[in-house]
Amino acid sequence: MRLAWLALRYGRTEELAERLPDWMALFTQVQAAPDGAENLRMVVRYLLYIGDRTAREATGRVLHSVVDAQHAEELMKSWGEELIEQGLARGRAEDVLRILAARGVHVGDEARQRILTCMDVATLDRWFDRALKASTLADVLDDLTQ
Same domain for 105 and 68 = no
- What's residue 5's pLDDT? 62
Q: Are 138 and 120 in contact (CB under 8 A)?
A: no
- What's residue 78's pLDDT? 61
Contacts of residue 42, defined as CB under 8 A and 6 or more positions apart, other chains included, come to: 4
Q: Are 121 and 92 in contact (CB under 8 A)?
A: yes
Same domain for 67 and 111 = no
N- to C-terminal Cα distance for the chain? 53
Same domain for 90 and 54 = no
144 within a domain of the structure (yes/no): no
Of 55, 60, 6, 54, the residue nearest 30 (C-alpha): 6
The C-alpha atoms of residue 111 and residue 98 are separated, in whole angstroms, by 14
- What's residue 31's pLDDT? 83
Compute and round to an integer the Cα radius of gyration of the chain.
Answer: 21
Same domain for 101 and 37 = no
pTM of the model: 0.52
112 within a domain of the structure (yes/no): yes
Total structural domains in the chain?
Answer: 2
Residue 85, helix vs strand vs coil: helix
Domain range for 29 is: 2-77
Q: How wide is the angle at C-alpha 56 spanned by C-alphas 41 and 78, nearest 5°?
A: 50
pLDDT in tens, the chain (146 residues): 566 666 666 655 677 778 778 888 888 888 888 888 888 888 887 777 777 778 778 888 888 888 888 888 777 776 567 767 888 899 999 999 999 999 999 999 999 999 999 999 999 999 999 999 999 999 999 765 44
